[in-house]
Amino acid sequence: MARPLPESNLSERLAQAEKILGHQFSNPTLLETALRHPSAASEDSSQPSYDRLEFLGDAVLGMVVSRLIYDRFPRMDEGGMTRIKVSLVAGQQLSEVAKGLGFGELISFGSSERGTGNRGLTSALEDIYEACIAALTLDGGLEVATAFIERTLAPLIQESMAAEPTNPKSTLQEILQVRHITPTYEVIDTEGPPHSRTFTVTVLADGEVIGQGSGRSKKDAEAAAALSALKKRRR
């Protein structure tokens, strides 16, 4: 797990974040807010968390990714484009991208979250990615935010994502029912505060774990677990 820099090193954290984002902020407060976890904001009501920025960033991300997919696959139908988008902006995917970029070391956590060993780091990384997109949009404009998304997320777009089932749980159940097996789902971990949780779920067939996935809701996590199981069957 990444070890966050000391809170006193704010200028260093902001400089590292600007390097990751490829943009020097004219309003550094935006970036500082984008890196502030709700647990830190709860200790100082004058300092907002990234929640509002995350809201805006999610919308910008969806628009930019939709346009990238639309332009890249001019003959693909709506269903295929939707499946690619869902795969690309899934919470686990964004968390892994943010982690790979080095954001795990830059998040400003409150003492309550640090005391848990940063159990909410996975969901926080997803939130940070979206909040930083919003900060880039507000400080540098949509073109700057788009450039960041194109550099960090667009390379992961694959046409094969369009072939994934719209409802992986139903697809998996249909496959297993041929063997008279009904898949079951179990929550094995829950990370983050009540307002921003990430669930990890395993799917079992005849008592054996055949897939695992994470999501911001139990429903999303179960779908991710089912999709994981389906991918393993194709290998």
- If we measure between CA atoms, which residue out of 74, 73, 75 comes closest to residue 88? 73
Contacts (Cβ under 8 Å, ≥6 apart) of 70: 81
Report how far apart the first and last C-alpha atoms of the chain are (Å, whole number).
30
Cβ pair 223, 90 in contact under 8 A: no
The one catalytic residue in 126, 127, 130, 220 is: 130
> Residue 218 has which token pair?
């139990």
Order of strands across the sheet that contains 198-205: 184-191, 198-205, 208-215
| 58 flagged as catalytic | yes
- Hey, what long-range contacts does 179-187 have (CB within 8 A, 24 or more apart)? 181/205, 181/206, 183/210, 183/226, 183/229, 185/222, 185/225, 187/218, 187/221
| 186 flagged as catalytic | no
The one catalytic residue in 32, 58, 113, 191 is: 58
Catalytic residue numbers read: 58, 130
